[in-house]
Amino acid sequence: MKNVALYLISALALCFCQVHAQVQLDVEGDANVDGDLIVNDNVGIGVALPSAKLDVVGTSELNGNVHIFDNVEIYNANSSINFRSESAGNHAIRWYGGDGLFDGMLIYQSDGDYVKFTNNGLLPGLTFDFSNNHVGIGTETPETKLHIFNGAGSSTAPPSSVVDFYLEDDSQCYIELNGTSWSGLTFNDDNASVRAGYLFDHSSDRLMFRTGGANNRMSIAEDGLVGINDVAPSAMLHIKQLGDGEEGLAIENDSDTDTWSFEIGGNDLFLYFNGTNVGQWDDANGNYVATSDQRLKKNITTLGHGYLDKLMKLSPKKYYYNHDQEMTKKTFGYLAQDVLKIFPDAVREGDNEDGYLGLDYQDMGVIAVKAIQELNEKVDRLEAELEEKNKQLELMESLEARVAKLESVLQK
């Protein structure tokens, strides 16, 4: 510092004497200057020909405030600028524009062990929290390894599960990824192998989600079509089944594990309940075929009699459904409340809160077959009775003929 002071004193003296020459002083001991010292040329510390307003070679200490309005060059094997304070507080580097107005500064808060960059409004820009190894952008109190806040209000603490990256905004929050071929995020192991990710294909305007490495599991096309295990969906929801034995779609109840699922087997569409096949749709005609294998049934009993008489008590109806506001299609059927009185087992009460009744027309078909069988038995009995009466009638007619013949003989 003593060399600096002597250089400055020499420069001041030369200005007063209107002598324009470069002066080099070697001074041992301390040199103090009271008041302001203005140097119009370059000042060198440890260098004979300074190339900047302040050109430092070696190690120097400056105590107090230093204002720099041009270049500063420091040469050393390990160049550095060191700030030292006698007590905990702020160390700052301030920047001023050509108009002399304050533009921003770099602050080190020693008692909080953090460094922050601010603008002229002292708004938080970039903060390094060394005590927690956190970095904040737009916030002075980063809560994670990287905490980005964009908003006019105050940032908030993230959930406890978020420890690495936290992005927040008091209005709308976006992450923009730009590219010309592929853009996205991938999730890797420590050995750099890709485990999962989601990527956008700029050439086809498709968003794809991957798991199990680079396997595309779901895609969303430009027109909004969604594909599962299909990168080129042709329907609003296009599911490509992995293979036979793998159900393509499952719907599970939220209150238990009961599950309905669908699977393509061969070309038919199979329906399962809790893993048991309960029916299928035939690919040739679209008919529904209910599963009826004896091995899937228990407590088997045979229907008794009386179904014909009960069936005759039903009154078939024609009607429109309430949701058919324009009454475009009339339906033939029964009213569930009427059937409930006669065949209660054929009526189903819905599990939803509306409690609407439903009618199992497949059961009604079985009941109709049983009634036909009873009707056939009655017809068989009537035919047997009629045949017997016909035989009796024939016998009577034969006897009458014989009697008439005897009477004719007797009259002779």
Q: Could you read off the pLDDT of 271-327 as tens digits, one per residue?
A: 999 999 999 999 999 999 999 999 999 999 999 999 999 999 999 999 999 999 999
Tell whether 263 and 365 lie within a shared domain. no
Highest mean pLDDT, choosing among 68-82, 148-162, 264-278: 264-278
* Per-residue pLDDT band at 32 (split at 50, 70, 90): low
Tell whether 8 and 49 lie within a shared domain. yes
In a domain, 206, yes or no: no
Residue 98's pLDDT is 74
d(CA 285, CA 140): 69
Lowest mean pLDDT among 41-55, 271-285, 361-375: 41-55
Write down the mean pLDDT value for the chain.
Answer: 81
d(CA 238, CA 230): 7
Phi, psi of 183 (to 5 degrees): -140, 145
Tell whether 286 and 391 lie within a shared domain. no
Phi, psi of 154 (to 5 degrees): -100, 145
Q: Tell me what percent of the chain is helix, strand and coil, each rounded to the nearest 5.
A: 20, 30, 50
Q: What are the C-alpha distances in Å from 283 to residues 42, 243, 268, 292?
A: 92, 17, 5, 19
Q: Higher pLDDT residue, 161 or 345?
A: 345
Out of 82, 99, 131, a domain closes at: 82
Tell whether 324 and 279 lie within a shared domain. no
CATH number at residue 331: 1.10.10
Residue 166's pLDDT is 87
Tell whether 288 and 346 lie within a shared domain. no
- Residue 110: strand pairing partners: none
* Secondary structure (3-state) at 200: strand
In a domain, 220, yes or no: no
d(CA 38, CA 186): 58
Q: Which amino acid would we find at residue 78?
A: N
CA atoms within a 13 Å half-sphere pointing along the CA-CB vector of 240: 13
Residue 311's pLDDT is 94
Cβ atoms of 52 and 42 closer than 8 Å:
yes
Which tens digits make up the pLDDT trace of 194-237?
889 999 999 999 999 999 888 899 999 999 999 999 989 999 99
d(CA 347, CA 363): 9
Tell whether 288 and 327 lie within a shared domain. no
In a domain, 353, yes or no: yes
Highest mean pLDDT, choosing among 54-63, 83-92, 371-380: 371-380
In a domain, 230, yes or no: no
- Name the nearest CA neighbour of 61 among 50, 74, 71: 74
Tell whether 332 and 368 lie within a shared domain. yes
Phi, psi of 389 (to 5 degrees): -65, -35
Q: Which amino acid would we find at residue 391?
A: K
- Mean pLDDT confidence for 131-138: 90
Residue 37's pLDDT is 60
- Name the nearest CA neighbour of 149 among 160, 133, 165: 165
Tell whether 253 and 311 lie within a shared domain. no
Instruction: Provide, rounded to the nearest whole percent, the portion of the chain with pLDDT above 90.
Output: 42
Q: Are strands 268-273 and 182-188 parallel, antiparallel or unpaired?
A: unpaired
- Residue 333: strand pairing partners: 317
Q: Higher pLDDT residue, 109 or 318?
A: 318
Residue recorded with tokens 């956008």: 200
* Per-residue pLDDT band at 77 (split at 50, 70, 90): low
Q: What are the C-alpha distances in Å from 130 to residues 135, 136, 159?
A: 8, 11, 21
In a domain, 100, yes or no: no
Residue 27's pLDDT is 44
In a domain, 170, yes or no: no
**Sign of the four-CA dihedral 188, 192, 194, 200:** positive
d(CA 200, CA 186): 11
* Per-residue pLDDT band at 13 (split at 50, 70, 90): very low
Q: Higher pLDDT residue, 296 or 76?
A: 296
Out of 62, 82, 102, a domain closes at: 82
Residue recorded with tokens 């970039």: 126
Residue 165's pLDDT is 87
Which tens digits make up the pLDDT trace of 50-64?
777 677 666 555 555
Out of 50, 82, 114, a domain closes at: 82
Tell whether 284 and 341 lie within a shared domain. no
Cβ atoms of 230 and 238 closer than 8 Å:
yes
- Mean pLDDT confidence for 86-108: 76
Residue 303's pLDDT is 93
Q: Higher pLDDT residue, 119 or 211?
A: 211
Tell whether 291 and 310 lie within a shared domain. no
Lowest mean pLDDT among 11-25, 28-42, 348-362: 11-25
Q: Is the pTM of this model over 0.75?
A: no
pLDDT over threshold 70, residue 28: no
* Per-residue pLDDT band at 76 (split at 50, 70, 90): low
Residue 179's pLDDT is 85
Cβ atoms of 116 and 126 closer than 8 Å:
yes
Domain of residue 44, residue span = 1-82
Q: Higher pLDDT residue, 94 or 306?
A: 306
In a domain, 307, yes or no: yes
Residue 92's pLDDT is 77
Q: Higher pLDDT residue, 14 or 241?
A: 241
d(CA 207, CA 160): 30
Burial of 9: CB neighbours in 10 Å, binned 0-12, 13-18, 19+ = middle
Tell whether 284 and 313 lie within a shared domain. no
Tell whether 295 and 387 lie within a shared domain. no
In a domain, 8, yes or no: yes
* Secondary structure (3-state) at 58: coil
Which tens digits make up the pLDDT trace of 225-267?
999 999 899 999 999 998 777 889 999 999 899 999 999 988 8
Structural domain total, the chain: 3
Q: How many helices (H) and strands (E) does the chain have?
A: 4, 25
Q: What are the C-alpha distances in Å from 222 to residues 152, 210, 218, 229, 313?
A: 35, 18, 14, 17, 59
Cβ atoms of 91 and 108 closer than 8 Å:
yes
